[in-house]
Amino acid sequence: MKKLAQEQVQTEFDSALQRSPLLGRPGFLIRRLHQIHCGLFLDETQGHDVTPVQYSLLTTLSMIGETDQITLANEIGLERTSVAEVIARLEKKGLLLRKQSTADRRVKLVKLSRKGQYLLKKLEAKVQKAHERTVEALPEDERALFILQLIRLVEANNDIGSAPFKLDQSN
């Protein structure tokens, strides 16, 4: 039975490569799936003017509370300059509050505003729907395995790149 499944996988893989050699490149597929997910996210959250990266930043702030920009960058695996730009956009929309730290005047602290908290609650089901739509083409019993495989790849390669994602190593 296992050999039959492996043969079926190889047959499907070979067929995909015949459609396009790009389908054999993990980087291409990951980038393309990200584009697809962003489209689904924007479709589901239409009218709320928030991107997936902005939503990640907002949800992270809702979990950890007020923090500095560097810690926030590490929490979401984004470069500090990109986080500063995202924070500025979200602050302009009234979704975040930013102030200087009283302990260190060089440090800027950021936290969710009430408007940001309200938006997160309002978007929660819509964003979940975007996540579900991203993987709905997979059989339901394979979706968790797909996500687990993505987790394995991220964790195995997390230190590569300019902005590692902070992972809780306690589990």
Tens of pLDDT along 91-141?
999 999 999 988 888 888 999 999 999 999 999 999 999 999 999 999 999
Residue 29 and residue 41: Cα distance in Å, rounded? 18
The SS3 of residue 1 is coil
Q: In the chain, what are the domains?
A: 27-157 (1.10.10.10)
What does pTM read for this prediction?
0.87
- Residue 4: predicted pLDDT: 62
Q: Answer whether 116's CB lies under 8 Å from 61's CB.
A: yes
Please report how the helices 80-92 and 52-64 are oriented relative to each other, as an axis angle in degrees rounded to 10.
Answer: 90
Residue 125 and residue 160: Cα distance in Å, rounded? 33
Provide the CB-side half-sphere exposure for 130 (13 A, CA).
22
